[in-house]
Amino acid sequence: MRFMFDNLKKVHLPFFLSFPFLSLFVINSHIIEFGELVWVVVACCIVGAVVTAFVKSRKTILFISISFMLFYIFGHIRLVLLDTPELWHIADSTLPIFTMSIAIIAFAFWKRHADFKRATYFANIAGLALVLIAVIQIGLFADQQPQFTATAVDANLQGTPNILYIIPDGYARSDILLDVYGYDNSPFENSLKDMGFTIGHGFSNYVHTHLSLSSILNMQYLDPTDWNLDYGTENHQYAKQMIEDNSVMKTLKENGYTLINIDSQFEATRSNPLFDHNLCSTSATDNELLILFSNTALVPRGFGLQGDQHENRLCAFDNVPYGTGSAIEPYFVMMHIVMPHPPYLFDADGNRLEATPFSFGMDWDGRDKWDTHEAYIGYLEFFNQNIIDTISQFDGLIIIQSDHGTHQIEWDEVEDRQVYNRMANFVATNIEEFDPDLTPVNTWRQVFGLPLLEDRYYFSEYKKSYDFTDYTDIINGLE
């Protein structure tokens, strides 16, 4: 057993295994829960300690540490290259270059017959320093963990019909589709009208998904002062917790509904413990940090942790219960689907597309991700065709309501018309006496028969998303 304790003097491996995840958390703490980091770091420490304890060679442990760090570094180099389409062919060469680099290092280590004591000592200091820097940054910039508890409301439901709530992410209102993309969406709208739907002409209350959904599902406007947030707070977890623990779900639950969630592969709507059933999960894990790390990896498709995105989207259309399945009625189905929001996975004819490099990370909603107009419209047409088939087989109330419109915004140079286009969302419903022109904050207030709130519109940047600018007068003035 003595050699195990001697080997523990080589403490750098747990540090180097943990550092990539710590640094990713520092950069993306606004979208990743602290608990997800803890589990990953604990696992890294255990793996690193076990390997260090049982491998006697300092040379081997040092080689593992260097290889893992280079893997992480080359992954980020690949991401930088993928940001520019003209450099995609160079990005494909990062894996061979990494492999060659590791082979050269391995050969150099094999030829050198030193005991690597000094190198190990330096690696211990360097690994500890990197981890301490990351931990200090987390401590300096970490916001207080959000504490939000939703309550059910006294709903005035007219019976207990089955309900399907579809949230197509980034689906623009039809007049904006015509103005920005030159696309006539009237055939889709006419099909909906023939099925008894009413089409709205309104706006979202917010310009980001996590803000829109947290407001919609709690039937209230977001007030950062309730959370004691300072100006510039970047932590998205406040809104995320409001999505996971929300009044609408609790109210439906109290009224006897079976709750069914269709996995969106996106943050808080990936899965939810409030729901009785979470369907269409194709990811190997729900840990957003692991998925983010896999997206930065050299290996295409990130080891498959994200799962098959194409199958996830198809599953969303195919697995909405039609009243003959195993779900106990009445049931509520929430289908937040990342369509026609990029990455664009299908063309208009349903042919699978190789996803354009895309990551739900710090800059996941940049304008450049949306600028392929033909791909956006093709993806939208694919959604239109499939959603008609889905809703035609659903017996109950249906609301189709996008979280926001399309994206034509440069966040650092915002123009009023761009914000208008972003907020012009698509709404359609077959619910009688439902006004689809009202903003989403009133959607479930109408369903539950609650007093309505004044329609207001708030703009904010993605990173500092709670620093709201009231755009109500501007939006109304542009109408």
> Read out DSSP for 322-382?
-SSSSPPSSEEEEEEE--SSSS--B-TT--B-PPPS--SSTTTT-GGGT--HHHHHHHHHH
Give the contacts of 259 (CB within 8 A, at least 6 positions apart).
Answer: 249, 252, 253, 274, 275, 276, 277, 331, 332, 334
**DSSP three-state, residue 398:** strand
Contact in structure between 376 and 181 (CB atoms under 8 Å): yes
Residue 15 region by backbone torsions, left for phi larger than 0, else alpha for psi between -120 and 50, else beta: alpha
Q: How far is residue 364's CA from residue 455's CA, in Å, rounded to a whole number?
A: 28
**For the whole model, what pTM was predicted?**
0.78
In whole angstroms, give the CA distance from residue 42 to residue 48: 10
What is the number of alpha carbons within 13 Å of residue 231 lying toward its C-beta? 2
Contact 166, 400 (CB under 8 A): yes
Domains of the chain: 2-141 (no CATH), 163-478 (3.40.720)
Query: Rounded to an integer, what distance in angstroms lies between the CA atom of residue 364 and that of residue 208?
Result: 11
Q: What is the pLDDT of residue 324?
A: 41
pLDDT at 361: 44
Reduce the DSSP state of residue 470 to 3 states and report it.
strand
65, 115, 121 from 58: Cα distances, Å: 11, 7, 10
The answer to whether 132 and 139 have CB atoms below 8 angstroms apart is: no
For the beta carbon of residue 235, count every other beta carbon within 10 angstroms.
Answer: 23
- Tokens at 31, concatenated: 């979208």
CB 188 within 8 A of CB 382: no
Q: Residues with Cβ < 8 Å from 295, sequence gap 6 or more?
A: 302, 306, 359, 360, 361
* 168 three-class SS: strand
pLDDT at 449: 92
Contact yes or no for 264/170 (Cβ under 8 A): no
Give strand pairing partners of 167: 336
For residue 172, the 8-state DSSP code is: B
Q: How far apart are CA 396 and CA 431, in angstroms?
A: 9
By C-alpha distance, which of 201, 150, 230, 202 is closest to 464?
230
178-189 burial, b at 16+ Cβ within 10 Å, e below that, comes to: eebbebebeebb
Give the CB-side neighbour count of residue 220, counting CA atoms within 13 A: 14
Q: How far apart are CA 123 and CA 129, in angstroms?
A: 10
Q: If DSSP codes are grouped into helix, strand and coil, which group holds residue 459? A: strand
Which of 268, 279, 303 lies closest to 32, judged by CA?
268
Taking the alpha carbons at both ends of the chain, their separation in whole angstroms is 77
How far apart, in whole angstroms, are the C-alpha atoms of residue 206 and residue 281?
28
Reading the chain (479 residues) residue by residue, the pLDDT tens digits are: 444 434 447 789 999 999 988 988 887 776 677 778 888 999 999 999 999 888 888 889 999 999 999 888 888 787 777 666 566 677 778 888 888 998 999 898 888 877 788 888 899 999 999 999 988 887 766 555 566 677 778 877 777 899 999 999 999 999 999 999 999 999 999 999 999 999 999 999 999 999 999 999 999 998 876 766 666 666 777 788 888 889 999 999 999 999 999 988 777 787 777 888 888 876 666 677 777 777 676 665 555 566 678 888 888 888 775 444 566 788 999 999 999 998 889 999 999 987 654 444 444 454 455 567 889 999 999 999 999 999 998 889 999 999 999 887 776 678 899 999 999 999 999 999 899 999 999 999 999 999 999 999 999 988 788 889 999 999 999 87
Name the amino acid, one letter, at 159. Answer: G
Tally Cβ neighbours within 10 Å of residue 121: 14
Alpha-carbon distance 57 to 230, whole Å? 50
CA angle 292, 359, 63 (to 5 degrees): 45
Q: Write out the two tokens for 448.
A: 């539950």
Task: Using alpha carbons, select from 265, 360, 282, 409 the residue that is nearest to residue 31.
Answer: 360
